[in-house]
Protein backbone atom coordinates (compact mmCIF):
# COMPACT_ATOMS: atom_id res chain seq x y z
CA UNK A 1 0.00 0.00 0.00
CA UNK A 2 2.68 2.58 0.87
CA UNK A 3 4.37 1.82 -2.43
CA UNK A 4 1.11 2.57 -4.19
CA UNK A 5 0.71 5.91 -2.44
CA UNK A 6 4.31 6.89 -3.09
CA UNK A 7 4.09 6.11 -6.78
CA UNK A 8 0.89 8.13 -7.06
CA UNK A 9 2.49 11.06 -5.25
CA UNK A 10 5.41 10.89 -7.65
CA UNK A 11 2.97 10.95 -10.56
CA UNK A 12 1.25 13.92 -8.98
CA UNK A 13 4.51 15.80 -8.73
CA UNK A 14 5.16 15.19 -12.42
CA UNK A 15 1.73 16.50 -13.34
CA UNK A 16 2.31 19.61 -11.27
CA UNK A 17 5.63 20.17 -12.95
CA UNK A 18 4.11 19.80 -16.37
CA UNK A 19 1.31 22.21 -15.54
CA UNK A 20 3.73 24.72 -14.10
CA UNK A 21 5.70 24.62 -17.32
CA UNK A 22 2.55 25.07 -19.36
CA UNK A 23 1.35 27.94 -17.26
CA UNK A 24 4.71 29.61 -17.37
CA UNK A 25 5.05 29.25 -21.11
CA UNK A 26 1.45 30.34 -21.58
CA UNK A 27 2.00 33.49 -19.65
CA UNK A 28 5.21 34.11 -21.55
CA UNK A 29 3.53 33.64 -24.88
CA UNK A 30 0.44 35.64 -24.13
CA UNK A 31 1.87 38.70 -22.52
CA UNK A 32 5.03 40.61 -22.04
CA UNK A 33 7.02 38.52 -19.57
CA UNK A 34 7.94 41.62 -17.76
CA UNK A 35 4.31 42.19 -16.96
CA UNK A 36 4.13 38.92 -15.05
CA UNK A 37 6.33 40.29 -12.36
CA UNK A 38 5.87 43.98 -12.70
CA UNK A 39 2.76 46.08 -12.59
CA UNK A 40 2.11 47.27 -16.16
CA UNK A 41 1.14 50.61 -14.70
CA UNK A 42 4.67 51.40 -13.65
CA UNK A 43 6.79 53.87 -15.61
CA UNK A 44 9.31 52.73 -18.15
CA UNK A 45 12.29 53.50 -15.95
CA UNK A 46 10.74 51.70 -13.00
CA UNK A 47 9.97 48.72 -15.18
CA UNK A 48 13.54 48.53 -16.41
CA UNK A 49 14.96 48.74 -12.93
CA UNK A 50 12.66 46.07 -11.55
CA UNK A 51 13.22 43.88 -14.60
CA UNK A 52 16.93 43.90 -14.05
CA UNK A 53 16.63 43.31 -10.34
CA UNK A 54 14.31 40.38 -10.96
CA UNK A 55 16.62 38.94 -13.56
CA UNK A 56 14.07 39.25 -16.33
CA UNK A 57 16.75 39.96 -18.86
CA UNK A 58 18.01 36.45 -18.40
CA UNK A 59 17.14 33.56 -20.75
CA UNK A 60 13.73 31.92 -20.35
CA UNK A 61 14.95 28.68 -18.86
CA UNK A 62 16.72 30.55 -16.10
CA UNK A 63 13.58 32.50 -15.36
CA UNK A 64 11.61 29.30 -15.29
CA UNK A 65 14.10 27.99 -12.80
CA UNK A 66 13.52 30.94 -10.52
CA UNK A 67 9.79 30.53 -10.97
CA UNK A 68 10.04 26.90 -9.93
CA UNK A 69 12.15 27.80 -6.97
CA UNK A 70 9.55 30.25 -5.88
CA UNK A 71 6.86 27.71 -6.54
CA UNK A 72 8.49 25.19 -4.26
CA UNK A 73 8.25 27.76 -1.51
CA UNK A 74 4.70 28.53 -2.59
CA UNK A 75 5.86 31.96 -3.60
CA UNK A 76 4.28 33.16 -6.80
CA UNK A 77 5.02 36.78 -6.41
CA UNK A 78 2.88 39.57 -5.18
CA UNK A 79 -0.53 40.62 -6.38
CA UNK A 80 -0.37 43.79 -8.43
CA UNK A 81 -3.45 45.22 -6.87
CA UNK A 82 -3.26 44.13 -3.30
CA UNK A 83 0.48 44.04 -2.91
CA UNK A 84 0.21 40.97 -0.73
CA UNK A 85 1.82 37.69 -1.76
CA UNK A 86 -0.51 35.94 -4.18
CA UNK A 87 -0.59 32.69 -2.23
CA UNK A 88 -1.54 34.44 0.94
CA UNK A 89 -4.47 36.10 -0.79
CA UNK A 90 -5.69 32.81 -2.07
CA UNK A 91 -5.37 30.98 1.21
CA UNK A 92 -7.26 33.69 2.99
CA UNK A 93 -10.20 33.01 0.73
CA UNK A 94 -10.07 29.25 0.67
CA UNK A 95 -12.18 28.66 3.81
CA UNK A 96 -15.09 30.58 2.32
CA UNK A 97 -14.98 28.57 -0.89
CA UNK A 98 -14.60 25.29 0.94
CA UNK A 99 -17.59 26.08 3.15
CA UNK A 100 -19.72 26.73 0.14
CA UNK A 101 -18.54 23.66 -1.74
CA UNK A 102 -19.03 21.32 1.21
CA UNK A 103 -22.49 22.67 1.96
CA UNK A 104 -23.52 22.40 -1.66
CA UNK A 105 -22.28 18.83 -2.08
CA UNK A 106 -23.90 17.81 1.20
CA UNK A 107 -27.26 19.15 0.07
CA UNK A 108 -26.84 17.53 -3.32
CA UNK A 109 -25.99 14.14 -1.84
CA UNK A 110 -28.67 14.13 0.83
CA UNK A 111 -31.37 15.06 -1.66
CA UNK A 112 -30.14 13.60 -4.91
CA UNK A 113 -29.10 10.10 -3.86
CA UNK A 114 -32.30 9.11 -2.04
CA UNK A 115 -34.30 10.57 -4.91
CA UNK A 116 -32.38 8.48 -7.41
CA UNK A 117 -32.71 5.36 -5.27
CA UNK A 118 -36.43 5.83 -4.93
CA UNK A 119 -36.79 6.41 -8.65
CA UNK A 120 -34.91 3.19 -9.33
CA UNK A 121 -36.92 1.09 -6.90
CA UNK A 122 -40.31 2.60 -7.68
CA UNK A 123 -40.05 4.03 -11.19
CA UNK A 124 -43.76 4.59 -11.58
CA UNK A 125 -44.34 6.72 -8.52
CA UNK A 126 -45.17 10.32 -9.32
CA UNK A 127 -42.21 11.52 -7.30
CA UNK A 128 -39.91 9.52 -9.50
CA UNK A 129 -41.39 10.73 -12.74
CA UNK A 130 -41.48 14.34 -11.58
CA UNK A 131 -37.97 14.12 -10.21
CA UNK A 132 -36.48 12.74 -13.38
CA UNK A 133 -38.36 15.22 -15.51
CA UNK A 134 -37.16 18.10 -13.41
CA UNK A 135 -33.63 16.81 -13.59
CA UNK A 136 -33.37 17.97 -17.17
CA UNK A 137 -34.31 21.39 -15.94
CA UNK A 138 -31.76 21.29 -13.17
CA UNK A 139 -29.01 20.23 -15.53
CA UNK A 140 -29.81 22.69 -18.31
CA UNK A 141 -30.34 25.93 -16.56
CA UNK A 142 -27.26 28.08 -16.36
CA UNK A 143 -26.12 28.67 -12.82
CA UNK A 144 -26.58 32.40 -12.90
CA UNK A 145 -30.18 31.97 -13.89
CA UNK A 146 -30.83 29.67 -10.96
CA UNK A 147 -29.14 32.25 -8.77
CA UNK A 148 -31.31 35.01 -10.13
CA UNK A 149 -34.52 33.11 -9.61
CA UNK A 150 -33.53 32.11 -6.09
CA UNK A 151 -32.58 35.66 -5.23
CA UNK A 152 -35.78 36.99 -6.67
CA UNK A 153 -38.03 34.56 -4.90
CA UNK A 154 -36.34 34.10 -1.56
CA UNK A 155 -34.46 37.33 -1.08
CA UNK A 156 -36.44 40.04 -2.78
CA UNK A 157 -40.04 38.88 -2.67
CA UNK A 158 -39.99 36.81 0.48
CA UNK A 159 -37.27 38.86 2.08
CA UNK A 160 -36.29 35.79 4.03
CA UNK A 161 -32.65 35.41 3.12
CA UNK A 162 -29.80 37.79 2.32
CA UNK A 163 -28.81 37.94 -1.31
CA UNK A 164 -25.13 38.60 -1.12
CA UNK A 165 -22.03 38.42 0.95
CA UNK A 166 -20.84 36.06 3.60
CA UNK A 167 -22.24 36.10 7.10
CA UNK A 168 -20.58 36.47 10.45
CA UNK A 169 -17.80 34.09 11.21
CA UNK A 170 -16.51 32.28 14.22
CA UNK A 171 -13.10 30.75 14.55
CA UNK A 172 -12.38 27.07 14.61
CA UNK A 173 -8.79 25.85 14.61
CA UNK A 174 -7.74 29.43 14.06
CA UNK A 175 -9.70 29.78 10.84
CA UNK A 176 -12.87 31.84 10.55
CA UNK A 177 -15.88 29.84 9.41
CA UNK A 178 -19.31 31.24 8.76
CA UNK A 179 -21.33 28.07 9.09
CA UNK A 180 -20.85 28.29 12.84
CA UNK A 181 -23.17 31.27 13.14
CA UNK A 182 -26.87 31.62 12.37
CA UNK A 183 -26.19 34.71 10.33
CA UNK A 184 -23.51 32.83 8.47
CA UNK A 185 -25.87 29.96 7.73
CA UNK A 186 -28.47 32.35 6.40
CA UNK A 187 -25.94 33.73 3.97
CA UNK A 188 -24.78 30.32 2.84
CA UNK A 189 -28.22 29.00 1.89
CA UNK A 190 -28.78 30.76 -1.43
CA UNK A 191 -25.34 30.31 -2.98
CA UNK A 192 -25.17 26.73 -1.77
CA UNK A 193 -28.61 25.98 -3.24
CA UNK A 194 -27.58 27.54 -6.53
CA UNK A 195 -24.59 25.26 -6.69
CA UNK A 196 -26.45 22.25 -5.40
CA UNK A 197 -29.44 22.22 -7.76
CA UNK A 198 -27.65 20.99 -10.88
CA UNK A 199 -25.73 18.49 -8.76
CA UNK A 200 -28.94 17.15 -7.26
CA UNK A 201 -30.17 16.50 -10.77
CA UNK A 202 -26.89 14.88 -11.70
CA UNK A 203 -26.70 12.65 -8.64
CA UNK A 204 -30.34 11.64 -8.89
CA UNK A 205 -29.92 10.57 -12.49
CA UNK A 206 -26.68 8.79 -11.80
CA UNK A 207 -27.99 6.99 -8.75
CA UNK A 208 -31.07 5.91 -10.60
CA UNK A 209 -29.07 4.56 -13.52
CA UNK A 210 -26.58 2.74 -11.30
CA UNK A 211 -29.29 1.43 -8.99
CA UNK A 212 -31.37 0.16 -11.89
CA UNK A 213 -28.36 -1.70 -13.20
CA UNK A 214 -27.61 -3.19 -9.81
CA UNK A 215 -31.26 -4.04 -9.24
CA UNK A 216 -31.31 -6.33 -12.24
CA UNK A 217 -28.12 -8.13 -11.25
CA UNK A 218 -28.33 -11.78 -10.39
CA UNK A 219 -27.06 -11.30 -6.87
CA UNK A 220 -30.04 -9.11 -6.14
CA UNK A 221 -32.33 -11.90 -7.29
CA UNK A 222 -30.36 -14.36 -5.22
CA UNK A 223 -30.74 -12.14 -2.20
CA UNK A 224 -34.48 -12.20 -2.71
CA UNK A 225 -34.35 -15.97 -3.18
CA UNK A 226 -32.71 -16.25 0.20
CA UNK A 227 -35.73 -14.56 1.70
CA UNK A 228 -33.96 -11.40 2.88
CA UNK A 229 -36.03 -8.42 3.86
CA UNK A 230 -36.33 -5.64 1.34
CA UNK A 231 -34.71 -3.14 3.66
CA UNK A 232 -31.61 -5.24 3.85
CA UNK A 233 -31.54 -5.90 0.13
CA UNK A 234 -31.68 -2.23 -0.75
CA UNK A 235 -29.80 -0.89 2.21
CA UNK A 236 -26.90 -3.30 2.22
CA UNK A 237 -26.64 -5.17 -1.06
CA UNK A 238 -27.63 -2.39 -3.37
CA UNK A 239 -26.01 0.47 -1.54
CA UNK A 240 -22.64 -1.19 -1.09
CA UNK A 241 -22.47 -1.79 -4.81
CA UNK A 242 -23.42 1.76 -5.59
CA UNK A 243 -20.75 3.22 -3.39
CA UNK A 244 -17.88 3.10 -5.81
CA UNK A 245 -19.48 4.97 -8.70
CA UNK A 246 -21.26 7.30 -6.29
CA UNK A 247 -18.23 8.24 -4.25
CA UNK A 248 -16.28 8.83 -7.43
CA UNK A 249 -18.79 11.27 -8.79
CA UNK A 250 -19.47 12.96 -5.47
CA UNK A 251 -15.78 13.41 -4.91
CA UNK A 252 -15.16 14.77 -8.38
CA UNK A 253 -18.10 17.12 -8.27
CA UNK A 254 -16.93 18.39 -4.90
CA UNK A 255 -13.56 19.07 -6.48
CA UNK A 256 -15.19 20.97 -9.32
CA UNK A 257 -17.39 22.94 -6.98
CA UNK A 258 -14.44 23.95 -4.88
CA UNK A 259 -12.29 24.91 -7.84
CA UNK A 260 -14.69 26.43 -10.34
CA UNK A 261 -17.64 28.08 -8.61
CA UNK A 262 -16.56 31.39 -9.96
CA UNK A 263 -19.84 32.58 -11.39
CA UNK A 264 -21.92 31.80 -8.32
CA UNK A 265 -19.38 33.43 -6.07
CA UNK A 266 -19.50 36.52 -8.26
CA UNK A 267 -23.26 36.83 -8.24
CA UNK A 268 -23.52 36.46 -4.53
CA UNK A 269 -20.41 38.52 -3.85
CA UNK A 270 -19.14 35.56 -1.89
CA UNK A 271 -15.58 36.32 -0.80
CA UNK A 272 -14.12 33.05 -1.92
CA UNK A 273 -11.17 32.01 -4.05
CA UNK A 274 -13.37 31.82 -7.14
CA UNK A 275 -14.40 35.43 -6.96
CA UNK A 276 -10.77 36.32 -6.40
CA UNK A 277 -9.93 34.47 -9.58
CA UNK A 278 -12.50 36.28 -11.67
CA UNK A 279 -11.48 39.64 -10.37
CA UNK A 280 -7.84 38.81 -11.01
CA UNK A 281 -8.49 37.62 -14.53
CA UNK A 282 -10.50 40.68 -15.38
CA UNK A 283 -7.89 42.97 -13.92
CA UNK A 284 -5.02 41.00 -15.35
CA UNK A 285 -3.50 40.41 -11.94
CA UNK A 286 -1.35 37.62 -13.28
CA UNK A 287 0.54 36.43 -10.18
CA UNK A 288 -2.78 35.63 -8.53
CA UNK A 289 -4.05 33.79 -11.60
CA UNK A 290 -0.89 31.72 -11.83
CA UNK A 291 -0.95 30.93 -8.12
CA UNK A 292 -4.60 29.93 -8.35
CA UNK A 293 -3.98 27.56 -11.23
CA UNK A 294 -1.20 25.81 -9.35
CA UNK A 295 -3.25 25.50 -6.18
CA UNK A 296 -6.23 24.12 -8.02
CA UNK A 297 -4.18 21.57 -9.90
CA UNK A 298 -2.47 20.41 -6.73
CA UNK A 299 -5.82 20.16 -4.98
CA UNK A 300 -7.49 18.18 -7.76
CA UNK A 301 -4.59 15.77 -8.07
CA UNK A 302 -4.57 15.10 -4.34
CA UNK A 303 -8.33 14.67 -4.34
CA UNK A 304 -8.01 12.09 -7.09
CA UNK A 305 -5.44 10.23 -5.07
CA UNK A 306 -7.71 10.22 -2.05
CA UNK A 307 -10.60 8.89 -4.11
CA UNK A 308 -8.46 6.11 -5.51
CA UNK A 309 -7.46 5.07 -2.02
CA UNK A 310 -11.08 5.01 -0.97
CA UNK A 311 -12.02 2.60 -3.76
CA UNK A 312 -9.71 0.03 -2.32
CA UNK A 313 -11.61 0.19 0.91
CA UNK A 314 -15.00 0.00 -0.73
CA UNK A 315 -14.52 -2.61 -3.41
CA UNK A 316 -12.59 -5.73 -2.43
CA UNK A 317 -11.96 -6.65 -6.06
CA UNK A 318 -9.85 -3.55 -6.50
CA UNK A 319 -7.95 -4.30 -3.32
CA UNK A 320 -6.78 -7.55 -4.82
CA UNK A 321 -5.59 -5.84 -7.98
CA UNK A 322 -3.71 -3.24 -6.00
CA UNK A 323 -2.02 -5.90 -3.94
CA UNK A 324 -1.03 -7.79 -7.03
CA UNK A 325 0.24 -4.65 -8.73
Partner 1 sequence: MSPSVAKHRTQSRWRAAMVRLLQSRMAAGAGLVLALVVLAALLAPWIAPQNPYDLASLDILDSKLPPGSLSGDGSMRYWLGTDEQGRDMLSAILFGLRISLYVGVLATLGALLVGTLMGLSAAFARGWVDAFIMRIVDIQLALPGVLIALVLLAILGKGVDKVVIALIVGGWAYFARAARASAMVERDREYMEAAVCLGFGRGRQLLRHLLPNCMPPLIVIATIEFAEAIAAEAALSFLGVGVPVSEPSLGMLTANGFDFLMSGRYWLCLFPGMALAIVILSFNIVGDRYREIINPRGER
Partner 2 sequence: MSATDRQHEAVLSVRGLKTWFATREGTVRSVDGVDLDLAKGEILGLVGESGSGKSVTGFSIMGLVDKPGRVVEGQIFLGASDLLAQSPEQLRSLRGRKLALIFQDPMMTLNPVLSVGTQMVEAVTAHEKVSKKEARARALQSLVRVGIPAPEKRLDAYPHELSGGMRQRVSIAIALLHQPEVIIADEPTTALDVTIQGQILYEIRRLCRESSTALLWITHDLAVVAGLADRVAVMYAGRIVESAPTRALIERPRHPYTAGLIGAVPRIGQAHGERLTQIPGSSPNPLEVRTGCAFAPRCSRAQEKCRSAEPEVTSPSPGVSWRCWFPLEQTA
The residues of the shown chain that bind partner 2, judged by CB under 8 A, are 217-219, 221-230, 232, 236-237, 240-241, 243, 314-317, 320
Q: Per-residue x/- marks for partner 1, 96-125, CB under 8 A?
A: ---------------------------x--
Taking the complex as a whole, the smallest distance from the CB of residue 264 to partner 1 amounts, in Å, to 10
- Interacting residues with partner 1 between 189 and 248 (CB under 8 A): 209
Smaller CB separation from partner 2, 221 or 283: 221
Smaller CB separation from partner 2, 54 or 228: 228
Smaller CB separation from partner 1, 145 or 219: 145
| Contact window for partner 1 (CB under 8 A) among 64-72, 82-90, 171-179, 258-266 | 258-266
- Interacting residues with partner 1 between 136 and 155 (CB under 8 A): 136-137, 139-145, 148-149, 151-152
Number of residues that make up the chain:
325
End-to-end Cα distance, the chain: 10
Q: Is the Cβ–Cβ distance between 108 and 203 less than 8 Å? A: yes
Taking the complex as a whole, the smallest distance from the CB of residue 255 to partner 2 amounts, in Å, to 24
- Where on the phi/psi map is residue 227: left (φ > 0), alpha (ψ -120 to 50), or beta? left
- Where on the phi/psi map is residue 188: left (φ > 0), alpha (ψ -120 to 50), or beta? alpha
Look at residue 122 and give the partner it binds from partner 2, partner 1, none, a contact being a CB closer than 5 to 8 Å depending on partner kind: none
DSSP 3-state assignment of 180? Answer: coil
Work out which of 197, 210, 258, 262 binds partner 1, going by CB under 8 A.
Answer: 262
252: phi then psi, degrees, rounded to nearest 5: -65, -40
- The DSSP H or E segment spanning 171 is strand 170-172
Taking the complex as a whole, the smallest distance from the CB of residue 231 to partner 2 amounts, in Å, to 11
Give exposure, 137-148, as e/b (b: 16+ Cβ within 10 Å). ebeeeebeebbe
For partner 1 (CB under 8 A), the number of binding residues is 34
- Where on the phi/psi map is residue 77: left (φ > 0), alpha (ψ -120 to 50), or beta? left
DSSP 272: S
Q: Is the Cβ–Cβ distance between 100 and 192 less than 8 Å? A: yes
**Interface positions with partner 1 (CB under 8 A):** 19, 22, 30-31, 123, 133, 136-137, 139-145, 148-149, 151-152, 156, 163, 209, 256, 260, 262-263, 266-267, 278, 281-282, 284, 289, 300
Amino acid sequence: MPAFVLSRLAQAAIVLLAVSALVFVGVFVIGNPVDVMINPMATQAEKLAVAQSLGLDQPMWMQYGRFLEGALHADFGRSFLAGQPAMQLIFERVPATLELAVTAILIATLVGVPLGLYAAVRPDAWISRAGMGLSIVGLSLPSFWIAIVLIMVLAVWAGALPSSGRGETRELFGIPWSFLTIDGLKHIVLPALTLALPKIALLARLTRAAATEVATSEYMQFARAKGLRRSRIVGVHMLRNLMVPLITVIGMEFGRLAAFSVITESIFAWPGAGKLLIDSILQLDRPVVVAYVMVVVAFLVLLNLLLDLTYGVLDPRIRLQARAA
